[in-house]
Structure formats: structure tokens, C-alpha cells
């Protein structure tokens, strides 16, 4: 590190502009050096000051994790150095299981723990949604019912010691969770109808909030889709946790667990020990990969 560089953490990402909190607590408005802006909320960076309250990001320190999605053209970074993904779902707006499975795959691939929150448990349809989510409990994921508008306290212990990122479709209540935990944050939230009518998501950029010295929470904009173009089929195999014991046991080494004869995963599904819903999700994901 050059002596004039200052260390800090990216606490907000607005396209190519970033807000950085230096280790001594100052907030700097920064741009990355050069055209590439491969930096995300949660990144540790070294900044060269340019003017009062401003700087240029010179170095991005090595990351412990990087959560991102991608389409055929580019990567979309979600958060860096997080240890946990908090996937926020609700009975209304309806959550998509496909998106849920894709988030789990991305988190498994990034080596991040996932906890599934079913928010808005006051709404009709929540009991059925919880029933449907039992599958994920059997896979080892924590599923936590929540009513963020009235009480977020049962989520708090799960966040202790973690840097967590809230991810989910628009209108699920991610920002409401931040406000519940940190009333001073006063993050904008919106009625679903208002958010959908305007065609915009309420949260437009990721922001990191401090819960305490050791626990941090990143709010992120709602997602409609979660592209996984950066993964290979073998990465997806490993990210479906219930497939792991059967990998390498199919007749063909490059088995895509579809119509191949002698597929160990398909045999487990036929015997009812692996969920058909998950196998169908797996096939949709692998079919959509580039290579």
C-alpha cells in the first residue's frame, strides 16, 4: 500500500460512483480509476484522496467472497465479502421458486451460507408458502417466518457476527427489515402497488448498514431474474446440495441428470428421495448455461 492511500469499505454503490467509509470513519465519494467498475458494496479498497471528501479507488483488496449474477454479456455484482445471504420471500407478491433456487446456487458457488426468510407472515397464503418451503429445511437451510413490519427481532440473532446481504424480488420487504433492525436508517420502502405501478424498484442501489461492530447488513435492489451464465454445469451439480452424494455415480461422467440412462440423480428422484421440483429447476438452469 502506498502511504497516501487510505483503506476503507464500499458502503454504497451507485453505478460508477461509490461511497466509501474509511477505517477512521470518514465518508468519501469515489470513482474507480479507469473504465472498469468491477467493485461492489462490501469491497475493501484503497483510495487515493483527490479533494476534500473525494477520492479515486486505486486498489480492490482480495475478497473472501463475491456474490454476482450474469447474463451472456456481463456480470452484475451484488455484494463482496459477505458471509451470509438472507433470501427474502413473501406470499405476496408471489415468490418464484426458480429465482429462489438460482439464488441458492449462486450462494453455494460463492461459499456463502443462506438463510431463507418468509416475510409478511401476517398475509393469507403464508401457511401454504411455509409448507412449500419445508423442502428447503430438509435440505439444511434455515427457514425463518417473519413479519418485518411489526417485529424483526427474531432475525437479529441470525445476523450476529455476519456480513449479510438481503436479496429477493422487489416488494418482499428487504428495506423494511433494515428499518426494523435500524430505525435510524430510515430507508425508503413502498407499497407494492406503488412500486409496481411506477415500474421501478424502490431500492435502486446497494447499501451497507452497520448493526454493530461485527455485524453488517447490505440492502440491495429487487431482482426479477438471476442469470448464472458464469457457472459450468459441474458448478450447478455441486450447488444442489442434495445431489452431492450421487455425483460421480451416474453412468456417464458428463451426465446432465435428464434423460441419460443410468443417472443416479434421476433414480433418486424416481424413488422420491430427491424432489422433482428441484430436479426440474436444475434442468432449467443447466439448459440456460452458455457452455
Q: Of 148 and 285, which has the nearer Cβ to Mg ion?
A: 148
Q: Of 84 and 202, which has the nearer Cβ to ligand GTP?
A: 202
Quick note: the x/- pattern for ligand GTP over 16-35, rule CB under 6 A, is --------------------
Question: Which one of Mg ion, ligand GTP, Zn ion, none interacts with residue 176, CB within 5 to 8 A by kind?
Answer: ligand GTP
Q: Does 236 bind Zn ion (CB under 5 A)?
A: no
Give the number of residues in contact with Mg ion, rule: CB under 5 A: 4
Q: Which of 203, 215, 266, 281 binds Mg ion (CB under 5 A)?
A: 203
Helix and strand numbers (H, E) in the chain are: 8, 13
Q: Of 149 and 283, which has the nearer Cβ to ligand GTP?
A: 149
Give the number of residues in contact with ligand GTP, rule: CB under 6 A: 25
- Reduced to 3 states (helix: H, G, I; strand: E, B; else coil), residue 97 is helix
**Biggest distance spanned by C-alpha atoms of the chain:** 66
**Residue ranges of E strands in the chain:** 6-14, 17-22, 27-32, 44-51, 54-60, 66-70, 75-80, 84-90, 113-119, 142-145, 163-167, 206-212, 215-219
Q: Does 190 bind ligand GTP (CB under 6 A)?
A: yes
Q: Does 255 bind Zn ion (CB under 5 A)?
A: yes
Q: Each residue of 183-194: b (16+ CB within 10 Å) or e? A: eeeebebbebee
Give the number of residues in contact with Zn ion, rule: CB under 5 A: 5
Q: Does 202 bind Mg ion (CB under 5 A)?
A: yes
Q: Given the DSSP bridges, would you call strands 113-119 and 142-145 parallel, antiparallel or unpaired?
A: parallel
Q: Does 90 bind Zn ion (CB under 5 A)?
A: no
Q: Of 168 and 227, which has the nearer Cβ to ligand GTP?
A: 168
Q: Does 147 bind ligand GTP (CB under 6 A)?
A: yes
Closest separation in Å from C-beta 227 to Zn ion: 24
Note whether 81 and 64 are within 8 A (CB).
yes
- Rounded to a whole number of angstroms, the distance between the first and last alpha carbons of the chain is 39
Q: Which of 257, 278, 281, 285 binds Zn ion (CB under 5 A)?
A: 257
Q: At what angle do helices 126-138 and 97-110 cross, to 10 degrees?
A: 30
Angstrom distance (rounded) from CA 131 to CA 120:
15
Q: Does 126 bind ligand GTP (CB under 6 A)?
A: no
- Provide the binding-site residues for Zn ion, judged by CB under 5 A: 250, 255, 257, 263, 265
- Provide the binding-site residues for Mg ion, judged by CB under 5 A: 174-175, 202-203
Amino acid at each position: 500500500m502506498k502511504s497516501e492511500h487510505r483503506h476503507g469499505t464500499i458502503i454504497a454503490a451507485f453505478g460508477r460512483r461509490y461511497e466509501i467509509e474509511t477505517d477512521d470513519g470518514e465518508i468519501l465519494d469515489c470513482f474507480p480509476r479507469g473504465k472498469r467498475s468491477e467493485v461492489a458494496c462490501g469491497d475493501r479498497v484503497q483510495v487515493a484522496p483527490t479533494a476534500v471528501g473525494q477520492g479515486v479507488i486505486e486498489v480492490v483488496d482480495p475478497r473472501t467472497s463475491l456474490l454476482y449474477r450474469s447474463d451472456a454479456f456481463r456480470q452484475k455484482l451484488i455484494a463482496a465479502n459477505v458471509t451470509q445471504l438472507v433470501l427474502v420471500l413473501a406470499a405476496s407478491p408471489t415468490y418464484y421458486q426458480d429465482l429462489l433456487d438460482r439464488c441458492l446456487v449462486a450462494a453455494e458457488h460463492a461459499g456463502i451460507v443462506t438463510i431463507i426468510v418468509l416475510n409478511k407472515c401476517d398475509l393469507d397464503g403464508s401457511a401454504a408458502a411455509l409448507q412449500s418451503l419445508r423442502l428447503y429445511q430438509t435440505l439444511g437451510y434455515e427457514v425463518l417466518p417473519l413479519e418485518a413490519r411489526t417485529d424483526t427481532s427474531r432475525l437479529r440473532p441470525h445476523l450476529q457476527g455476519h456480513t449479510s446481504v438481503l436479496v429477493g424480488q422487489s416488494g418482499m420487504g428487504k428495506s423494511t427489515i433494515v428499518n426494523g433492525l435500524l430505525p435510524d436508517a430510515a430507508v425508503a420502502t413502498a407499497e407494492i402497488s406503488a412500486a409496481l405501478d411506477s415500474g421501478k424498484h424502490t431500492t435502486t442501489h446497494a447499501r451497507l448498514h452497520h448493526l454493530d461492530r461485527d455485524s453488517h447488513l447490505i440492502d440491495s435492489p429487487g431482482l426479477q431474474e438471476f442469470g448464472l451464465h458464469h457457472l459450468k454445469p459441474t458448478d450447478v451439480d455441486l450447488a444442489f446440495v442434495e445431489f452431492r452424494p450421487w455425483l460421480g455415480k451416474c453412468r456417464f461422467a458428463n451426465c446432465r441428470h435428464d434423460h441419460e440412462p443410468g443417472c443416479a440423480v434421476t433414480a433418486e428422484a424416481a424413488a422420491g428421495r430427491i424432489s422433482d421440483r428441484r430436479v426440474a429447476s436444475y434442468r432449467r438452469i443447466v439448459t440456460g448455461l452458455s457452455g
